[in-house]
Amino acid sequence: MESGARGLILTACDRLALSRGLKPDERLADARARVPDLASVLAEPERDAAMLLRLARWAERWSPAVMPDAPDGLMLDATGVAHLFGGEAMLIADIKGQCGRLRFTARAAIAGTPPAARALARFSRKAILGPGSEREGLSTLPVEALGLKAETCHTLARLGLKTIGDLCRVPRASLARRFRSDRSGHVLKALDEALGLADCPLRPLAPEPALVVRHCVMDPILTHEGIEAILTLLAQTLSARLADAGHGALRVELKLYRTDASRAVVPAGLSRPSRDPRHLVRLITPRLGEVDLGFGVDAATLEALATAPLDYRQRELDGAPPAGGIELAALTDRIANRPDGGTLSRFRLIESHLPERAESFAAPGFGETPQAPLPPESGAPGAVPARPLVLLDHPEEASVIAAVPDGPPVRFTWRRLSRRVVRADGPERIAPEWWTVPPGASPARLRDYYVVEDEDGRRYWLFREGLYGEGEAVSPRWYVHGLFA
Amino acid sequence: MSGYAELQVTSNFSFLRGASHPEELAATTRALGLTALAVTDRNSLAGIVRAHVAAKEVGLRFVVGVRLDLEEKLSLLAWPSDRAAYGRLTRLLTVGQRRADKGECILRLDDVAEFQEGLILALIPPDGWPDEDFSSRLAALRRRFDGAVYLAAQRRFSRGDRARLNRLAALAHRHGAPMLASNDVLYHHPARKALQDVLTCVREKCTIAEAGFRLTANAERHLKTPEEMLRLFAGHEDAVERTLEVADAARFSLDELRYEYPEEPVPAGLDADAYLERLAWEGAAGRYPAGIPDKVRTTIARELVLIKKLNYARYFLTVNDIVCFARAQDEPILCQGRGSAANSAVCYAIGITAVDPAEIDLLFERFVSEERKEPPDIDVDFEHERREEVIQYIYRRYGREKAGLAATVITYRGRSAVREVGKVMGLSEDTTAALSGIVWGRMSEEMSETRLREAGLDPADPLLRRVLDLSAEITGFPRHLSQHVGGFVLTRERLDETVPIGNAAMEDRTVIEWDKDDIDALGILKVDVLALGMLTCIRKCFSLIEAWYGVKYSLASVPREDASVYDMLCRADSVGVFQVESRAQMNMLPRLKPRSFYDLVIEVAIVRPGPIQGDMVHPYLRRRDGLEPEDYPAPDPRFGHPDELKAVLGRTKGVPLFQEQAMKLAMVAAEFTPGELNELRKAMATFRRRGTIGRLEDKMVRRMIERGYAEDFARRCFNQIKGFGEYGFPESHAASFAHLVYVSAWLKHHYPAVFACGLLNSQPMGFYAPAQIVRDAREHGVEVRPPDTGFSEWDCGLEDALFKREPPPPAPPHKGEGSSPALRLGLRLIDGLKEVDGRQVSEAALPSPLWGGAGGGGSFRRPPTPTLPHKGGGSNDAAPSSPTALHRAGVPVAALERLAAADAFRSSGLDRRQALWEVKALSKAKPLPLFAHAGASDAGADLPVTLPEMPAGEHVVNDYQTLKLSLKAHPMRFLRERALAEGVIDNAALKSLRDARFVTIAGIVLVRQRPGSAKGVVFATLEDEFAVANIVVWPKVLERFRPVVMGARLMLVKGRIQRAGDIIHVVANRIEDRTGWLSLLMAEPKAFASPLARADEVARPGYDLRQPAARHPRNVRIIPKSRDFH
């Protein structure tokens, strides 16, 4: 379903839904009134299109020329292909079988022109139409089979022109005169294309840019230096290919093919797209040391497995890489790709009044969130900062003497040392995040935070959980949560 | 002196900020022992009346105030010290609101300076540290305003609170702006923190998880006791005590607003009472040319005395002025008054209503009570198409400073509440949709688990529960102010010195900040200028009758008490008749058997949720039929007259049917004082104060028992009153409505063609679609003719039945039979045809009418060409109504296509298919004048093509697609054979079958209804070519056939006949979807008849109808969707 002007609209129904009488283009509310236990998900046309593209690539197994026919069709140029699969009927059977294996229901047909094949597949049980027999073979199909706009079909039906055969019998001039504009959907053109009277070429998908580069050597290489030299060559070629595509690599793999038909794989990941050959080499080289070259390597490939768009950026005049944090990214990449890798993480700030929820660790790399602001500062200029330098991983309980109900600590004992408070500020009252507690569970208690300074000038961050005199069975408890200095 | 007044409070009238109702704030303030409460909403006074009333109720001192958020990023609190200062404050807010879009307010410091005299101001410091910049702002403010300027200080329970407080105190001291303690209250109780967070998220359009620092850190912004405030401001106790000083100085109370009627309508040198008196007697003389009946004379005299005593004269004159304007238009606007004061002899005399006091016994005193110090109530209905003229007149006459529309507070209701809360709590869009889908109207506690499970939701899901809980809490919260449908507030002095006036969403409308209840509470005059579709229809009918029959009628001059009209109503023959055309009313009519005007008054009032839920319908009917004695419980003779209830309920046979009776019951039987009555009325009208209604129930029942009534009777009385609270219908309104019921029924009975024409030309209105109106007209012997470019105008019109060339001589009204005119459908019925195009067509195709209904009332004509519609043959290019001629006249091809598809070229000798073929050949571009008459086109000569003839069934289907009705035949006619094969009987046969017989019927679904009061029963109407049948589907059957019941366009029903008098229902046992039959109508019977056709092709079946692939739903949607009411 998708959001439309009339509310949520069904865009597609599965077989079960169809059997219960639901149809696309219906309002979700209406559908639910009839089928209350209807399960629905939001439509994702982009993902559907991506899926169709993947299917089209996959269908290249049958023909080198495949064209996606949005939203739910594929066109294959079967010229000179069918005999490879044992004839046209066998080809169709194979296609249906393979699609069925992927749990797709496929309808397939072969005809002399692409529109004719589409018409057969979608509107007829017949699967194969010999070249030249379109006029006859299609004549009983409805005009909708020509792929015309619904509005045009509707007008044609009102005129009594309901099948392709009906259309064929109308003088061409009369038809041309009445259905010529774009809005009418080029009836004559569609008809001619289907009947093979006008050319209707397929526009197959362009071959995928191969982001694999290969290097072969006559004599097997036995030294790591030799491999490095090949790697440098490969990186330069790959970089050029990437530049052509306007992309940068995010994940690359070096594959070394040994003379004994085994191979070694060295992967590397990047935190932001790059096609700098030197950077790629530097990422892979440190890990070459562990690769066993065996009896020698006679071929190597370098492949960009994942890429992302990357604009070209000019280097500085002195040859330094362009500004903008590239060096830092390069550095993190290098550290993260070290053989003992995975030692890097970075802080992420989360907007939350609760101190321990306000920060978390994340792996370096993509999805950098903008830094969240600190809670609004209300202290005087030059006062102690809002949050301590050190936040204890777990608040540590302390015993405290303080005035009821919400006076600051006067004395407290923490880690077996008793401290006398000479200065204090607070309370800063922080309520629990009610929405994180399941309803019915005992709600978390609020916290009163205090900044206190002891006789030695050390500053602590203490909080009391709960209030005195709340009428609760458990009396409030005190914790030390952080240290300022 | 010790104590504390909370002077900075945000109620939920600061939309999406405050999380408590003004009433809750007032009650809590009182309970906590605070001295006074101010409500300071953001640039708005929308909530103060409610707070004022609530505070008065609990005996709390209330301070009017506002928080001014200025463009300079500065916020001030302002409390007016007296009436004059209050007037300046409302003018200040008016200035800010008038210069901004609806709901916004743009104010600058300069504006405040202009109106600040008498306002006590306090500067609100920023949340953070009050730095030097703030210090200099305070200093500047102090210099600028000579009056009292305070510095408001709050404890936020955030870091450095104490230091900040000390700093503020120092600044206050330095600049001579004394520090004032406040708690910047957002809710009355800390438990509302969650709701306030949700509101913040709705405002910020984020989910609760994303909200972060936009939420407050703690739940401290609630009302606190004086002791707590003193503790929090330890060291600055003076700031707390100073609140009392401010509360004392801000003395203005809303009670001081004294309302004055506008002076305008009274001519200079005349006193209002004398003027009204003169108008009344003059008017009465006009109404009764044969002399004023004695009864009316004494009534008018008595009413005038009462009006003078209550000082209502100027109110009547104001309404009269508006009505006079409407009447004085070149084409008078039809209008009629209703409401408590409208049913008076004076109103009849001066022409505000048309309910004749000589005929019915409507006592003015019954509606206007002397004790109740409330302004009288007159609502005036105007033709819905022309009400805007009246509204603009009022603005012109009184000026925007003295006239404004009342506001309506739009509150969160079940669905909107669930939708907003669900979004905030991070529910997916479809879960929210599913959840809100099962919340019908008001949220009820018994949102049972089954309902949730039905919607595919897990009732145990804690998140879901929380969403529902919060939604229940937010329900009833105001979300924005909208304009009242037509309630005008008019004042003598400047209105903007009483209440702020802002812009409405609609252009040229200005709206005050208070709603109907607020205005009532303050006793301000309101005139309701309402729109009524039926008045438009009636006026169009009157115009047609005048032009066609030469008789002039008005609302008051329609012959009264015509027995044949009542006969018709008793037969439930009421399609199109005002108010009594719904299914429920049609069921009631044969049972109630109205025979007089007062019966209609009861008919209008009885089919309402109030009497139905109070279970008063059946007792009334039984008593009316004499099956049950009228009885009137009496009080103990010591306490009252035994007939005291008979006086109240006598007119309705001892059963309370009207709102006034319910009130009177409480007054008489439980001796409620006027004040208590008012309280009762308000408690009923709004379920906001759930607490008070229980208290009132105890009070009423106790008092009635004390006075000797049985407890059971007392409880029943109260339940009836409760039922009335929300849905009751006042007798005064019912009387005016009943008059329109009578007039429209009279028109329908005597002039069925005129009535159908008026209804069709006033669409959209009423309960029925054009198809049903047309069907009904034909059943009443009206010949209905299809829209045709050769005959039709944009509006529907009348035609001489015999196509006579002479205009009919003006004839006296005849009783329906004989030479009734035919109804020619207008081009307006053609789906998708634009009005400009349609009017252009009739201008080009038709010579200007010889004579016709003056403007818009529909007209009638003779055919422009003597040629009658003929079938087949070539196109008649000469006719000005042919496609080519219209195209030459500049009608767009797209419009011609619509006309052709609607089969509107028959008079040019073209059927739908041929016309479409011709139109399709026309060039999209405007024809060049040079070639216009050459008949040649750039594409060369067109070859003749013989298209297959369109079968009748397909014509009908196409009619439905383009007109939503067909005059040719009913689709079921073509399916009858098929239906017979399944044992289907026709709907007309139901009449002659006995009760409880098992039958199978089939038809097109017209209406599906699931009334909230009917416990899950679905009512549907099925139409076939003979009649309409009513289907009842009980929940059990519904469960089994739900998809069919809710989705089928054509339905086959097996069930039992259930008869109750003339009403026949079929109680469904089994229901089948036969929508598929409709597509059979579209199949060509045989293939193309052309020399190319080969025998084998004819034999071959067409394409497979069952093929599911790629058919556009529009092709499948043959019959327009039914009208469904949930």
Say yes or no to pLDDT of B521 above 60.
yes
Higher-pLDDT residue of B398, B728: B398
pLDDT category, B667, cuts 50, 70, 90? Answer: confident
> Which chain B residue has its CA at the smallest distance from A121's CA?
B1109
Q: Give the pLDDT confidence score for residue B505 in this predicted structure.
A: 80
Query: Does residue A383 belong to the interface with chain B, where contact is any CB pair within 8 Å?
Result: yes
Q: Enumerate the residues of chain B whose CB falls inside 8 A of the CB of residue A177.
A: 920-921, 937, 939, 942
Q: What is the mean pLDDT of residues B757-766?
A: 88
What is the arithmetic mean of pLDDT over B901-915? 88
The per-residue pLDDT for B367 is: 56
| pLDDT for res B676 | 77
pLDDT for A134 equals 84
Asked whether the beta carbons of residue B429 and residue A176 sit closer than 8 angstroms, the reply is no
Q: Which one is predicted more confidently, A456 or A359?
A: A456
Residues B647-671, mean pLDDT to the nearest whole number: 80
Question: Which of the residue ranges B527-531, B659-663, B754-758 has the most confident prediction, judged by mean pLDDT?
Answer: B754-758
The span from the CA of A20 to the CA of B1044, in Å, is 9
Q: Quick one: pLDDT at residue B223?
A: 95
Determine whether the interchain pair B940/A173 forms a contact, defined as Cβ–Cβ distance below 8 Å.
yes
Residue B616's pLDDT is: 78
SS (H, E, C) B472-491: HHHCCCEEEEEEEEEEEEEC
pLDDT at B685 over 80: no
Tell whether B197 is within 8 A of chain A (Cβ): yes
> If you average pLDDT over each of A203-217, B88-102, B880-894, B1056-1070, which comes out highest?
B88-102
pLDDT digits (tens, 9 = 90+) for B392-448: 999 888 888 888 899 999 988 878 888 899 999 988 877 787 777 666 444 444 455
- Kindly state the DSSP code that residue B217 receives in the 8-state scheme: S
Q: Do B544 and B860 form a contact (C-beta atoms < 8 A)?
A: yes
Q: Which position has the higher pLDDT, B180 or B732? A: B180
Do A446 and B1112 lie within an 8 Å CB cutoff? no
The pLDDT, as a whole number, for residue B944 is 73
- Chain pair A-B, CB pairs under 8 angstroms: 223
- Is the ipTM higher than 0.90? The answer is no
Tokens of B25: 């704030």
Q: Does B192 touch chain A (CB under 8 A)?
A: no
Query: Quick one: pLDDT band at residue B832, thresholds 50, 70, 90?
Result: confident
Q: Determine whether the interchain pair B193/A431 forms a contact, defined as Cβ–Cβ distance below 8 Å.
A: yes
**A122: which chain B residues are within 8 Å (Cβ-Cβ)?**
1109-1110
Q: Does A387 touch chain B (CB under 8 A)?
A: no
- Is the per-residue pLDDT at B1099 higher than 50? no
Q: How far apart are the CA of A424 and the nearest CA of chain B, in angstroms?
A: 10
Is A280 near chain B, with CB under 8 Å? no
Q: Which residue of A has its CA nearest to B166?
A: A380
pLDDT confidence of residue B302: 86
* CB B751, CB B775: distance < 8 Å: no
| Per-residue pLDDT tens digits for B1045-1062 | 888 888 999 999 988 777
User: What are the tens digits of pLDDT across the range B463-520?
Assistant: 888 888 888 889 889 998 888 878 888 888 888 899 999 988 887 788 999 988 888 8
Query: Contact B1103/A142, CB-based, under 8 Å?
Result: yes
What pLDDT band is residue A233 in, cutting at 50, 70 and 90? Answer: very high
Q: pLDDT band for position B818 (50/70/90)?
A: very low
Q: Is B207 on the interface with A (CB under 8 A)?
A: no
Sorting pLDDT into bands at 50, 70 and 90, what band is B868? very low
**Mean pLDDT for all residues in chain A:** 82
Q: In the predicted model, what is the mean pLDDT of chain B?
A: 81
pLDDT beyond 70 at B1105 = no
Within the 458-487 window of chain B, which residues sit less than 8 Å (CB to CB) from chain A?
462, 465-466, 469
Residue among A111, A100, A191 nearest A148 (CA)? A191
Buried/exposed code over B672-700 (b: 16+ C-beta within 10 A; e: otherwise):
beeebbbbbbbbbebebbeebbeebbebb
Question: How far apart are alpha carbons B979 and B972 in whole angstroms?
Answer: 9
**Mean local confidence (pLDDT), A61-70:** 86
pLDDT of the residue at B669: 82
- What does the pLDDT look like over B133-184, one tens digit per residue? 999 999 999 988 877 899 999 998 988 888 899 999 999 999 999 999 999 9
B45 phi and psi, to 5 degrees? Answer: -115, 20
- Could you tell me the sign of the dihedral formed by the alpha carbons of B856, B859, B865, B871, in that order? positive
Amino acid identity of residue B844, one-letter, is A
d(CA A463, CA B108): 43
**Mutation target among B452, B950, B1103 for the A interface, most CBs of A within 10 A:** B1103
CB distance B159–A169 less than 8 Å?
A: no
Determine contact: B1103 vs chain A, CB below 8 A.
yes
pLDDT at B1085 (0 to 100): 47
pLDDT band at A6 (very low <50, low <70, confident <90, very high): low
Q: Contacts of residue B1100 in chain A, CB cutoff 8 Å?
A: 140
- The residues, ordered by sequence, that sit 6+ positions from A201 with a Cβ below 8 Å of its Cβ are none
Residue carrying structure tokens 């041929």: B914
What residues of chain B, 601 to 630, have a C-beta less than 8 Å from chain A?
none
- Substitution target in B131, B134, B154, B158 with the highest count of A β-carbons within 10 Å is B158
- Least confident interval from A42-46, A87-91, B891-895: A42-46
The answer, yes or no, to whether residue B103 has pLDDT greater than 50, is: yes
Residue B188 pLDDT > 80: yes
Per-residue pLDDT, A234: 93
> What is the pLDDT, as a whole number, of residue B181?
95
Pick among A177, A377, A433 to test the B interface (most B CBs inside 10 A): A177
**B374 vs A43, residue with greater confidence:** A43
Higher pLDDT, B373 or B906: B906
Contacts of A1 in chain B (CB under 8 A): 430
Range B225-238 average pLDDT: 93
Q: What is the b/e burial string over B866-875, where b = at least 16 CB atoms within 10 angstroms of the residue's CB?
A: eeebeeeeeb
Which H helix or E strand runs over B1064? Answer: strand B1063-1073
Helices (H), A314-405: 326-336
* B382 vs A11: which has the higher pLDDT: B382
Could you say which of A40, A163, A439 has the minimum Cβ distance to residue B465?
A439
CB B522 within 8 A of CB B257: yes
- Which residues on A lie below 8 Å from B913 (Cβ)? 158-160
Comparing A301-305, B592-596, B931-935, the range with the smallest average pLDDT is B931-935
> pLDDT tens digits for A122-175?
888 888 888 878 888 888 888 888 888 888 888 888 888 888 888 888 888 888
**What values do phi and psi take at B225, rounded to 5?**
-75, 160
Asked if A10 contacts A40 with a C-beta cutoff of 8 angstroms, the reply is yes
A390 vs B674: which has the higher pLDDT: A390
- Could you give the CA distance from residue B991 to residue B984 in angstroms, rounded to a whole number? 15
Give the model's pLDDT for residue A377: 61
Under DSSP, is residue A45 helix (H, G, I), strand (E, B) or coil? helix
Q: Looking at residue B763, what is its pLDDT?
A: 84
The DSSP code sequence of B72-125 is TS-EEEEEESSHHHHHHHHHHHHHHHHTS-TT-----HHHHHHH-TTEEEEEEP
Give B184→chain A minimum CA distance, Å: 16
- Residue B312 has a pLDDT of 83
In the prediction, which pLDDT does B1117 show? 47
The answer to whether the CB of B1029 falls within 8 A of the CB of B1022 is yes
The residues in B 1022-1081 lying below 8 A from A, measured between CB atoms, are 1042-1047, 1073
Question: What pLDDT is attached to residue B1106?
Answer: 33
Of residues B1020 and B200, the one with the higher pLDDT is B200
Answer with the residue of higher pLDDT: B28 or B445.
B28
Answer whether A434 sits within 8 Å of B469, measured CB to CB.
Answer: no
Taken as a whole, chain A contains a residue count of 485
pLDDT score for A418: 94
Question: Could you read off the pLDDT of B484-494 as tens digits, one per residue?
Answer: 878 888 888 88
pLDDT over threshold 60, residue B856: no
For position A388, what pLDDT does the model report?
Answer: 86
Our measurement of the distance from residue B204's CA atom to the centroid of its chain's CA atoms, rounded to an integer in Å, reads: 31
Whether this prediction's pTM lies above 0.95 is answered by no
